[in-house]
Amino acid sequence: MAAGLTSETQEISGEELVAARTKKVGLAAAQDFPLLSRQSNGKPFRYLDNSATSQKPRAVIEAMSSYYGSFNANVHRGIYRIAQEATLEYEKAHDVVAQFIGGQAEEVIFTRGTTDSLNLLAFSLAKQLREGDEILLTEMEHHSNIVPWQQVAKERKAILKYIPVSEEGTLLMEKAREMITTKTRIVSVTHISNVLGSINPVQEVASLAHEVGALLIVDAAQSIPHMPIDVTNLGCDFLAFSGHKMLGPMGIGVLWGRKQLLEDLEPYQYGGDMIREVRFDGATWNDLPWKFEAGTPNVPGALGLMKAIEYLQDIGMENIQQHTSEVTKYAQEELQKIPGLVILGPARRGPLVAFTMAGIHPHDIAELLDKENIAIRAGHHCAMPLHKKLGLGGSTRASFSIYNTKEDVDALVLGLHHVRKVFQ
Amino acid sequence: MMQMMEELSARQEKTRKQDGQSKEPELIDRNELASAPLTEEQEIYKENILDHYKHPRNNSIPEHPHIVRHGHNPLCGDEMTIYGVVKTSTKAEEWSLSFTGHGCAISQAAASLLTEELQRKSSAEIKSWDEEKMMALLGIPISPVRRKCALLALKTVQQGVAVWHLK
């Protein structure tokens, strides 16, 4: 059939369009997140795996496709117009990130994500370590903040220690005070645990570390999408996070570091943008932050992340924290009522609730919830040592973002009652 | 476009309802909804599998096993130990199998079903089993991500028997 006016299509009135635009899911406009309208068997999609990755607003998707569609060029190289446009936008993304976390643009290094940021630090800081130096982590770290340090400790004959977690699931600060000594060179802690939800007292850990001349690294992967972050206020030396958990694209992340420290640090990778001058007998490094951005960078990723930050800022990080905290609190209250369900971690928490159900494996819970079009995470959430300490093979986790509502929690609770019925 | 508009409007309607519900949480009768029959999609948790999960067969440790083989899916947390006692005759070995373990319903039901199926079978017969035969024994749809759960028991039994023959 030729394209034209048929009875299958219909003109949308301006009024209807306005109504569609102003509809809300949680704090977001419903039409901003194309994926959330995805249904299965007529059941609305309940996306509750935001600690793993968040969904993307249309603005982010469009920012990336607009780069490829209208000014795709390599940055810091071309003299022609689109190369200059791409360079300006890419540099602006550094400014936007810096302003978002209260740092300076030259302190913002784009990486592939939190894991990449932490690997960069582990690799580059390793060169400053001597035998017997101590690296301090916590028992609630993600594998990405354990394994790089294990490798560094092995290579440099440094000693790796873990600040223990209390029964309640909080960091044992009296232990931290004992364990942070003049031997400690690096302290690397997660801001919000991706399993327990605990919000760690980073400022207090920072002062303990700085008293003995150690560096403090903060893994902000879970906290940056959830709450306002200011690096000066936190008192950290380095901050690592990913774009994709904060409505941005995958494959882009940030390492922020204090300027003086970054200047003293050896580069992580060599080649491309990180070089100032190469001779046959050596090379010199570019200025910050380019010194740490070897090769052609992920420009569309950076532009997508910039757009995600602008989107978050439009809503306001305080509002986001208030909204997701309310949904999380409601989830805690409702989940607790389910017989046999045990919530992991303390009452005061970030935007996630991990739990176990007596006699039911997390994968079975996840598979049955999927039939209800509810997406949650099941397993060890890349925190095997923590689960082992808790005596668990895994857990089930619901995690929330700006577009989640109490209605999503109701659907989850209903789904879990169904799971219980199947297994009773 | 129209469909999108309808979906959006249904969404908004639900959001409105939800706002009302937060004040009156008893609007949903959870017990009634939770006792609805299983849909076809939930076939995977059909009675037979759940029965083997809740009441595993051959769930014991023999006194003098010839095989004690531990199988583990670290990513899932599925774990099991397979025990085998062999009776050798002129014709062939005859295995008596049992297991202990914990993990998801699929992995544990698979061990229960398999130890039952392979009772008094020979090494040759045990070795002849392939993945498809195991899937057929389970008789439920297994998604790609759950195949590891479904195959752990078979893999562990077969490796146990293979190692015993090497001794």
Asked if A40 and A404 count as a contact pair (C-beta separation under 8 A), the reply is no
pLDDT digits (tens, 9 = 90+) for A85-130: 999 999 999 999 999 999 999 999 999 999 999 999 999 999 999 9
State how far the Cα of B136 lies from the Cα of B141, in Å rounded to an integer.
9
- Flag if B103 and A361 touch (Cβ within 8 Å): yes
Question: Between B88 and B9, whose confidence is greater?
Answer: B88
Residues A34-71, buried b or exposed e (16+ Cβ, 10 A)? eebbeeeeeebebbbbbbbbbbbbeebbebbeebeeeb
Beta-carbon separation of A10 and B17 below 8 A: no
pLDDT at B74: 83
CA distance A364 to chain B (A): 6
Give contacts of A405 with chain B, Cβ < 8 Å.
15, 18
The whole-chain average pLDDT of chain A stands at: 94
Structure confidence by residue, pLDDT tens digits, A53-73: 999 999 999 999 999 999 999
- Please identify which residue in the block is written with the tokens 């949650």: A376
Residue A349 CA: distances (Å) to CA of A17, A103, A162, A379? 38, 26, 21, 20
Q: Are A363 and A379 in contact (CB under 8 A)?
A: yes
Among A328, A304, A331, residue whose Cα is nearest residue A89: A304
Cα angle: A346, vertex A349, A352; to 5 degrees: 105
Count CB atoms within 10 A of the CB of residue B6. 10
Q: Taking the CB of residue A368, how many other CB atoms lie within 10 A of it?
A: 25
As a whole number of Å, the CA-based R_g of chain A is 23
Q: Which residues of A touch B31 (CB under 8 A)?
A: 417
Mutate to test the interface with B, among A45, A195, A367 (most CBs of B within 10 A): A367
Partners of residue A215 on adjacent β-strands: A186
- The answer to whether the beta carbons of residues A258 and A235 sit under 8 Å apart is no
Q: What pLDDT, on the 0 to 100 scale, is given for residue A78?
A: 87
- The bridge status of strand A282-285 relative to strand A275-279 is antiparallel
Give me the residues of B, 25-44, that contact A with CB < 8 A.
Answer: 28, 30-31, 33-36, 38-39, 41-42, 44
DSSP one-letter string for A180-206: --TTEEEEEEESB-TTT--B--HHHHH
For B54, which residue in chain A has the nearest alpha carbon?
A423
Cβ contacts of B12 on chain A, cutoff 8 Å? 23-24, 30
Question: Cβ distance B110 to B80 under 8 Å?
Answer: no
Question: Is A189 in contact with A141 (CB distance < 8 Å)?
Answer: yes
- Rounded to a whole number, what is the distance in Å from the CA of B8 to chain A's nearest CA? 6
Inter-chain touch B12–A368, beta carbons under 8 Å: no
- Determine the residue of chain B that is closest to A368 in CA distance: B42
What are the chain B neighbours of A330 within 8 Å (beta carbons)?
22
Cα gap A286→B91, rounded to integer Å: 77
- Does the beta-carbon distance from A20 to B8 stay under 8 Å? yes
Contacts of A32 by beta carbon, 8 Å cutoff, 6+ apart: A57, A58, A59, A311
Distance, in Å, from the CA atom of A332 to the CA atom of A329, rounded to the nearest integer, reads 5
Structure tokens at B41: 């999609």
Higher pLDDT, B46 or A418: A418
Please state, in angstroms and rounded to a whole number, the distance separating the CA atoms of residues A169 and A192: 11
* Interchain CB contact of B103 with A (< 8 Å): yes
Higher pLDDT, B41 or A9: A9
Nearest CB partner across the interface for B39, out of A23, A44, A371: A371
Which of A19, A330, A414 lies at the smallest CB-CB distance from B30?
A: A414
Of B1, B18, B77, the CB nearest to A380: B77
Cβ atoms within 10 Å of A206's Cβ, excluding its own: 20
pLDDT (tens digit, 9 = 90+) per residue, A289-310?
999 999 999 999 999 999 999 9
Cα nearest neighbour of B103 on chain A: A361
Under an 8 A CB cutoff, do B104 and A364 touch? yes
The span from the CA of B82 to the CA of A54, in Å, is 41
Chain B residue whose CA is closest to A9: B2
The pLDDT of residue A1 is 43
Question: What element of type H or E holds A98?
Answer: helix A81-101
Tokens linked to A190: 């997660």
> In this structure, what are the phi and psi dihedrals at residue A46, rounded to the nearest 5 degrees?
-110, 100
pLDDT of residue A410: 98
* Å between A42 CA and nearest CA of chain B: 10
Question: Per the CB < 8 Å rule, is A380 touching B12?
Answer: no
Cα torsion A101, A103, A106, A108 to 10°: value is: -30
Contacts of B17 in chain A (CB under 8 A): 407
Name A412's Cβ contacts closer than 8 Å, sequence gap at least 6.
A46, A48, A331, A335, A369, A374, A376, A398
| Beta pairing, strands B93-102 & B78-88 | antiparallel
Taking residues A386-393, report their average pLDDT. Answer: 91
B5 has a pLDDT exceeding 60 = no
Is residue B132 predicted with pLDDT exceeding 50? yes
State how far residue B50 is from chain A, nearest Cα, in angstroms: 7
Tell whether pTM > 0.80.
Answer: yes
- Please say if A236 is a catalytic residue: no
* Strand A352-357 to A341-343 pairing: antiparallel
E strands, A9-128, in order: 24-25, 28-29, 39-40, 43-44, 46-47, 108-111
B124 touches chain A (CB under 8 A): no
| Annotated catalytic residue, options A250, A275, A315, A382 | A382
pLDDT mean across residues, chain B? 80
pLDDT band at B75 (very low <50, low <70, confident <90, very high): confident
- The pLDDT of A243-272, averaged and rounded, is 97
Helices (H) and strands (E) in chain B — how many of each? Answer: 7, 3
Kindly state the DSSP code that residue A162 receives in the 8-state scheme.
E
Q: What is the dihedral of CA A5, A8, A11, A12, to 10 degrees?
A: -160
pLDDT at A2: 47
Which residues from chain A sit within 8 angstroms of residue B44, using beta carbons? 367
With 0-12 CB in 10 A as exposed, 13-18 as middle and 19+ as buried, what is B125?
middle
| Residue A222 near residue A51 (C-beta atoms within 8 A) | yes
- Kindly indicate the confidence band of residue B1, based on its pLDDT and cuts at 50, 70 and 90: very low
User: For position B45, what pLDDT does the model report?
Assistant: 76
**B33, pLDDT greater than 70:** no
- Between chains, do A380 and B146 touch, taking CB under 8 Å as contact? no
Q: Which two tokens stand for residue B164?
A: 């015993």
- Chain B residues lying within 8 Å of A392, measured CB to CB: 77
pLDDT over 50 (residue B138): yes
Q: Cα dihedral sign for A171, A174, A178, A182?
A: positive
Give the one of A367, A379, A406 whose C-beta lies nearest to B18's C-beta.
A406
Does B146 touch chain A if contact means CB atoms closer than 8 Å? yes
Cross-chain Cβ contact A410/B2 below 8 Å: no
Which tens digit of pLDDT belongs to each residue from A317-336?
Answer: 999 999 999 999 999 999 99
| A274 CA: distance to closest CA in chain B (Å) | 38
Mutate to test the interface with A, among B23, B45, B107 (most CBs of A within 10 A): B45
Tens digits of residue pLDDT in B80-128:
999 999 998 766 789 999 999 999 999 999 999 999 999 999 999 999 9
**CB pairs A-B closer than 8 Å:** 114
Could you tell me if B110 and B79 are in contact, meaning their C-beta atoms sit under 8 angstroms apart?
A: no
